[in-house]
Structure 1
Amino acid sequence: MADFSSLGLSDWLINQCKQLGISKPTPVQEHCVPVILQGRDCMGCAKTGSGKTAAFVLPVLQKLSEDPYGIFCLVLTPTRELAYQIAEQFRVLGKPLGLKDCIVVGGMDMVSQALALSNKPHVVVATPGRLADHIRSSDTFSMSKIQFLILDEADRLLDQGCTDFTKDLETIMGILPAKRQTLLFSATLTDTLQELKNIAMNKPFFWESKSETRTVEELDQRYILTPEKVKDAYLVHLIQTFTDEHDDWSIIIFTNTCKSCQILSMMLREFNFPTIRLHSMMKQKQRFANLAMFKAGVYKILIATDVASRGLDIPSVQVVINHNAPGRPKIYIHRVGRTARAGRNGVSITLVTQYDIHLVQAVEEQIQTKLKEYPVEEKEVLKILTQVNVTRRQCEIKLEATDFDEKKEINKRKQLILEGKDPDLEAKRKAELEKIRSRKKLFKQKIRQSIQKQKHGRMKRKQKEALA
């Protein structure tokens, strides 16, 4: 295997890597760093935990040391937590340069962010929505001379199904220079090859990990088949089992909605599990504080929505539990990628109901691996079933008393106002669309019923003719 000096990196950068305990490059670094140093655009696709962030941070810092100016590099990423993690890596590796960075994400003060941008930092790490807001509302900074545009978790950023991201990206692209290097990195990039061709100019280099599977070999991937009503009892039983056997293990539980995340966190605390939560309806400072406490091991169980599934490097996680089967295979890949990182072992367990079989089959097809059944003592689960269901219902009643759903609606209205839309008009438009969908559904049902009647009539006639 190559070492960092053979990649063309300067001695000061190699020393910084050594100080961090990084002695040899990973495959994604080995293949992508030299190409980026040559000035070519690059797209790297590799498993989670394979060192993708350093694959773009190292060459950017080397180029910056040769010609330091601000704003030199823009990094776009889909989540706030990931933005802070990337900025930290730039800061640590770029310390000898006296690197100035700026983080531009939602949930934080816009005025202080605008001031930081006007001070011309070397590196800006941003979520598209907040940066686009600054571009629309301010002219105190310029990105017309940036040398690098980096899209981390590029598949999510370029997902055409996500209209808000797409709109914001168009605003950002409008102020960037045509002459620049564009770098895209993710664990799941297959659907975005066409997008790169549209925005990459300099002889784009494609590198994809040769492994057919999208998850690492050290990960033991399991499932538990459970009726919907018994799912929470299985979850409590699993956590009790893991905490009894390994009191130092860290566990992440993924769920699909903020409300579910909140309820599960309340419920598990009632069972005296050291639980903390992470979802998008929490204030940003609280999200950072909770994540820091989980990383530090103050709390051993994190319940999160998919806001925590992307790129977050928490090396000590031993177990990932999917409380719901993810709707898309790539969501599964990112979720389970939070464990078995950097060569460590890990376990992932997905709770599968009778309605989720097709979702698991889609996941297995994508990762080229069959999930194995996780053995559970059903008698033990049934013993706690009533207690778990009663506790959950009590937590739901408590949450309803806090106007959680109302707060969600208020947040939605705020977001629409920030986007320059009238919340009431949007609500009317949504209601009209719902009416149209209902009419279409009713119309289709009537057509199906009519066809069924005709078929039934034909069958009766044939039976009469046969009898005659």
Structure 2
Amino acid sequence: MTKEIEQFAQLGIGEALTAALLEYGIGKPSPIQAEAIPYILEGRDVLAQSQTGTGKTLAYLLPLLQRIDPDKKESQVLVIAPTQELAMQIVREGEKYGGPLGIGTIGLIGGASAARQVEKLRQRPHLVVGTPGRLRELLSTRKLKLHEVRSIVLDEADQIFQMGGADDVRSLLKGALRDRQLIFLSATLGTDVRALAEREMRDPADVGIEPEQKLAKSTQHLYFVCQERDRIDTLRRVVRHYNPQRAIVFVNQADTIAEVESKLNHLGLEARTLYGDADKVTRATVLSQFRSGKFRLLVATDVAARGLDIPGLELVVHLDPAADSEHYVHRAGRTGRMGRKGLSVSIVTDRQAFIMRKFSRELDTAIEERALYEGAVLAPAEAEERRAGAVRRTPKGPAKKEAGRGPAGPGRGVSPGSSGASPAGTSSGADAAGGERGGSGRGSEAAERGGAGRPNPAKSAGRGPKGKKQPNKDKGAPKWLKEKRSTQDPS
């Protein structure tokens, strides 16, 4: 049961840190903070599960910063994070709250200069934050020493294991003290993490803030169905409709990310990319510009966006559906953080719609289908009803003009059931209208031709009263027969 705590001081957080929190507008602890902080201050092992965006970072960072002895020039706390971005995010929080207390913080991540990191390690920072691969590399070369580390944190523990960091974590745990404090935190705690906790932890405090509720209640989940070729256009319409200041667009494959970026920029939607193979400087620059509002859309892969905390992020779009429900949880968790409203939108084809229904069942969360129609977001049935109504209300356009026929309308054209040709010796409605418009007794071109493209009988020499051409009986006949016919036929 969640404790009702109004102040961090009630949890045991000291005056200096409490004042720093107030300076940054944080006065009341979140449920996960209220539950976890007292256990961590006691030095107990903690296994904590809570939705993304609920304040897990400060839940362990505040009590650990308070337990650090600034006068002791040794690395005392190690935090392991799955990605460079999350690691550097933790470093910023450590510097923000630990700096005024005289606590030194260092980030050890891949893609950065190892020599420079080794140089900084010689200053013996109190708080070490890093990614599994780089930490293990520095530990194996004995540049990183853990013999004084009293607390080890696995942030987003499930993601560390999914990204292949399990062996690195085990090596780091072996290199640390046997009586160290272990803290594992994640939005989802899989069997691998729980097995490691059972093997390495001593009587852990199992903190679960609505563990069955993996997604924040303040986030709305929708999906739109479209043709494969219409994905980008649907994304454009979604962004235009909701008009967020910033949004993250998730794709599954890094080799398509540049194409998506190019198309979005062509449509006038400022976009940049973030992916795992980019170097550290590029990734840091892109994130900094995104946070400051230099561009609107961040196109990212799952690897690059693990654990990102972008203040005020209003919208997350899954341009490709997430690989599974856990990936969906971490993607959607970038918005709706700390109780703020958020929106998660998936764009799928008709064949992929079942994935949304599957996620909805597995996560016990409503993921509702919507349709875009004339700038509005509607339930599919309502959108279809409006389309049908629009078709019924649309007046029929002018009939196609045929030779000798005027446009359809009252007193003009061909009436229903008509054969299309006027009776012999009469003018059709179109012909009469044409004669009146002429003002000189001349009919229209069709009237002169006698109707539907046929020549006028009055102007057709050698034709009978019905306009049929009379055969020339004398053509090719002998002279005597021609003379005989001429005497018998006085015409």
Q: How does 1:313-392 map to 2 (within 5 A)?
A: 313-377=309-373
Contact 1:65–1:97 (CA under 8 A) maintained in structure 2: no
Give the counterpart of 1:310 among 306, 312, 315: 306
Give the counterpart of 1:150 among 138, 150, 153: 153
Call closer, same or farther: CA 1:251–1:140 in 2, change over 3 Å: closer
Call closer, same or farther: CA 1:106–1:320 in 2, change over 3 Å: same
Q: Could you say what secondary structure the match of 1:206 adopts? A: strand
Contact 1:214–1:366 (CA under 8 A) maintained in structure 2: no
Give the counterpart of 2:246 among 250, 260, 281: 250
Is the deviation greater in 63-72 or in 281-290? 63-72
Instruction: Compute the displacement of 1:190 (Å).
Output: 4.2
- 1:270 is aligned to 2:266: yes
Contact 2:37–2:63 (CA under 8 A) maintained in structure 1: yes
Give 1 or 2: higher helix fraction.
1
List gaps (5 residues or longer) in structure 2. Answer: 377-491
- Structure 2: how far apart are the matches of 1:304 and 1:120? 35
Q: How does 1:79-228 map to 2 (within 5 A)?
A: 79-136=83-140, 138-159=141-162, 162=163, 164-191=164-191, 192-201=193-202, 203-210=203-210, 212-228=212-228
TM-score (norm 2): 0.72
- Structure 1: how far apart are the matches of 2:249 and 2:25? 30
> CA RMSD for the aligned pairs?
2.0
Instruction: Compute the displacement of 1:310 (Å).
Output: 2.1
Is the deviation greater in 166-175 or in 148-157? 166-175
Letter in 1 for 2:195: Q
- Structure 2: how far apart are the matches of 1:329 and 1:24? 31
- Structure 2: how far apart are the matches of 1:6 and 1:198? 33
Letter in 2 for 1:174: K
Call closer, same or farther: CA 1:81–1:281 in 2, change over 3 Å: same
Q: Could you say what secondary structure the match of 1:281 adopts? A: coil
- Structure 2: how far apart are the matches of 1:198 and 1:260? 41
- Structure 2: how far apart are the matches of 1:148 and 1:92? 20
Instruction: Compute the displacement of 1:83 (Å).
Output: 0.5
Instruction: Compute the displacement of 1:283 (Å).
Output: 1.8
Give the counterpart of 1:53 among 48, 57, 71: 57
Q: Could you say what secondary structure the match of 1:374 adopts? A: strand
- 1:280 is aligned to 2:281: no
Letter in 2 for 1:221: H
- Structure 1: how far apart are the matches of 2:143 and 2:99? 27
What is aligned with 2:291?
Answer: 295
What is aligned with 1:241?
Answer: 241
List gaps (5 residues or longer) in structure 1. Answer: 381-468
TM-score (norm 1): 0.76
Contact 2:245–2:293 (CA under 8 A) maintained in structure 1: no
- Structure 1: how far apart are the matches of 2:362 and 2:311? 25
Q: Could you say what secondary structure the match of 1:259 adopts? A: helix
Contact 2:70–2:103 (CA under 8 A) maintained in structure 1: no
Letter in 1 for 2:196: E
Instruction: Compute the displacement of 1:22 (Å).
Output: 1.0
Moved over 6 A (4+): none
Q: Could you say what secondary structure the match of 2:223 adopts? A: strand
Percent identical: 29
What is aligned with 1:440?
Answer: none
Call closer, same or farther: CA 1:281–1:293 in 2, change over 3 Å: same
- 1:346-373 Cα distance to aligned partner (Å, 9 max, x none): 2111012244344323311232112111
Letter in 1 for 2:86: L
Q: Could you say what secondary structure the match of 2:372 adopts? A: coil
Letter in 2 for 1:334: H
Instruction: Compute the displacement of 1:66 (Å).
Output: 7.7
- Structure 2: how far apart are the matches of 1:293 and 1:27? 32
Give the counterpart of 2:20 among 5, 16, 19: 16
Aligned residue pairs, count = 372
- Structure 2: how far apart are the matches of 1:309 and 1:334? 9
Call closer, same or farther: CA 1:150–1:183 in 2, change over 3 Å: same
Q: How does 1:382-461 map to 2 (within 5 A)?
A: none
- 1:83-128 Cα distance to aligned partner (Å, 9 max, x none): 0110111111112222111111011101001112232110110000
Report the structure number with the largest CA radius of gyration.
2
- Structure 2: how far apart are the matches of 1:30 and 1:68? 29
Letter in 1 for 2:97: L
Instruction: Compute the displacement of 1:260 (Å).
Output: 1.7
Instruction: Compute the displacement of 1:27 (Å).
Output: 0.6
- 1:303-336 Cα distance to aligned partner (Å, 9 max, x none): 1111343221112211111011111101101111
Letter in 2 for 1:366: E
Instruction: Compute the displacement of 1:26 (Å).
Output: 0.7
What is aligned with 2:383?
Answer: none
Q: Could you say what secondary structure the match of 2:154 adopts? A: strand
